Amino acid sequence: MSPYRSGRRDSAWKPPGVDAVERSWRSPLRGPWLTAVYGSVLLIALPLVIITGLLDYAAYGPRFDQAFPTHVGWLRLPTFDWPTRPSWLFRVTQGLHVTLGIVLIPVVLGKLWSVIPKLFAWPPARSPAQVLERLTLLLLVGGILFQIATGVLNIQYAYLFGFDFYTAHFFGAWVFTGAFVAHVIIKFPRLVTALRSRPLSAELRTPPAATRPEPPDPDGLVAADPGPATLSRRGAVGLVGGGALLLGALTIGQSLDGPLRHTALLLPRGRQPGPGPNGFPVNRTVAAAGVRPEQTGAGWRLTLHGGGRTVTLDRPGLLAMAQHTAALPIACVEGWSTRQTWTGVRLRDLAALAGVADPASARVSSLEQAGLFRTAVLASNQVLDPDSLLALRVNGVDLSPDHGYPARVIVPALPGVHCTKWVAEIDFQERTDG
Ligand SMILES: Nc1nc2c(c(=O)[nH]1)N[C@H]1C(S)=C(S)[C@@H](COP(=O)(O)O)O[C@H]1N2
Ligand SMILES: [Mo]
């Protein structure tokens, strides 16, 4: 038999260079088992990232056209009233989304490393089924890298891309999720077989010197010409796991209060305005928002609309009303959160003062002239919760200018972005459906 006919598929014609590339993937660690180990971590954790992402979208109140992107066509999910209890709900869903998204980066990279020879597989199109599979892989790999890149750049406030983050991340999520579901359906049997092929406990006891390549596999993950092992599979799993733990340790602090907050080294700097009762993170400063000191001084007035009535109050007038204190978190879409103790007037008392006993919603407007943060709509349950406040004070002192002086909204479980600072006006809508 002629030697080139008995060989593997490399006897067929290939463009120059492909052979060399194929031979250069020589790690003896690559194979179904390692790919399946990284894959099973992602199989368990990524659905959590996807679900918390969808919940975050729901929390912004798509019903009031204030979730981004606003127009999502047939991707519109059934909307529901985002609850106000437990008050830490959004803190947990958004914190989990961002933290887990960061922690999984090394696992995604490890998984991609383990399958990278397949990117150069030749011939590129062996059968229609294989073309379809490679297409879903393109959406899968492209999708996850796109979601990681846009997500990380967003929380680092690096808007390097020329498109809207929310639109990109939202539609990117659907592309990725579709490809992820297809990939899991196609590969799940392989994953199970691969995990069963080598007991984890034995693998974790094998040193580099005893590490051998896996037998050749139908997917071509195992190198054709493996080199000697410089790292064991235990080492490869430990490297990725260690990277994930390190990222987690540097991130988790942004969701904690107390001394552990200082461990959040990946938080963008300069947002923690020092000690004292107002010393907690500021999303946008009063200066950055373009709110001028003369707007927030003694001449400031709060205007309430509703029930055909307009009521105007100054800050002493608000302080003369019944005051309520509640410990509530602010949780930002970017992942950080912090619990503080707020004092002010209940929103439901302000609704009653405006003549609206049963509000369907309330539109809150700030002193800002324009922009994303100028107005926010609160749903009925968010206005009526006894801890929903127009806060005047925090931790026993007046709000600082950066935290929204003279008055700001704080509502349990409401995304931070809708806790409007420097409030100028609240417009209560009476329920009309009886
Ligand atoms: N008027 C106004 N309100 C605002 C903002 C803003 O830029 N302008 N930022 C929002 C965002 S995104 C968050 S996370 C919270 C943060 O509140 P803090 O800066 O007091 O911590 O305020 C919200 N309220
Ligand atoms: Mo935010």
Structure tokens at 173: 């999520």
Convert the pLDDT of each residue in 6-44 to its tens digit.
Answer: 334 445 788 888 888 878 899 999 999 999 999 999 999
Mutate which of 157, 255, 261, 284 to test ligand 1's pocket (most atoms within 8 Å of Cβ)?
A: 284
133 lies in the same domain as 182: yes
Q: How far is the CA of 378 from the centre of ligand 2 (A)?
A: 16
Which atom of ligand 1 is found nearest the CA of 285?
A: 19
Q: What is the pLDDT of residue 269?
A: 53
Within a domain: residue 231? yes
Q: How far is the CA of 374 from the centre of ligand 1 (A)?
A: 10
Q: How far is the CA of 421 from the centre of ligand 1 (A)?
A: 6
228 lies in the same domain as 307: no
Q: How far is the CA of 420 from the centre of ligand 1 (A)?
A: 6
CA distances 402 to 136, 205, 395, Å, are 47, 55, 15
Convert the pLDDT of each residue in 159-171 to its tens digit.
Answer: 666 778 889 999 9
158 lies in the same domain as 211: yes
Q: How far is the CA of 355 from the centre of ligand 2 (A)?
A: 31
Within a domain: residue 94? yes
195 lies in the same domain as 293: no
DSSP 66: -
Contact 62, 216 (CB under 8 A): no
Integer Cα distance of 409 and 169 in angstroms: 28
What residue type is 84 in one-letter code?
T
Contact 190, 32 (CB under 8 A): yes
pTM score: 0.93
Integer Cα distance of 309 and 355 in angstroms: 7
Say whether 279 sits in a helix, a strand or coil: coil
Within a domain: residue 270? no
Mutate which of 166, 283, 302 to test ligand 1's pocket (most atoms within 8 Å of Cβ)?
A: 283
Nearest alpha carbon, ligand 1 atom 23? 417
Q: What is the pLDDT of residue 7?
A: 38
Q: Which domain holds residue 31?
A: 13-249
Nearest alpha carbon, ligand 1 atom 19? 282
Structure tokens at 354: 């405006």
CA distances 167 to 71, 100, 399, Å, are 9, 21, 34
Nearest alpha carbon, ligand 1 atom 10? 417
Within a domain: residue 168? yes
Give the CATH number, domain containing residue 390.
Answer: 3.90.420.10
233 lies in the same domain as 338: no
> Residues in the chain with pLDDT < 70?
1-11, 158-161, 268-271, 433-434
232 lies in the same domain as 309: no
Within a domain: residue 183? yes
235 lies in the same domain as 306: no
312 lies in the same domain as 368: yes
Number of domains in the chain: 2
Structure tokens at 128: 């229609």
309 lies in the same domain as 380: yes
Cα dihedral sign for 142, 145, 151, 154?
A: negative
- For 412, list phi and psi in degrees, rounded to 5: -60, 135
Nearest alpha carbon, ligand 1 atom 8? 373
Provide the 10 A C-beta neighbour count for residue 184.
Answer: 16
349 lies in the same domain as 224: no
Integer Cα distance of 422 and 194 in angstroms: 58
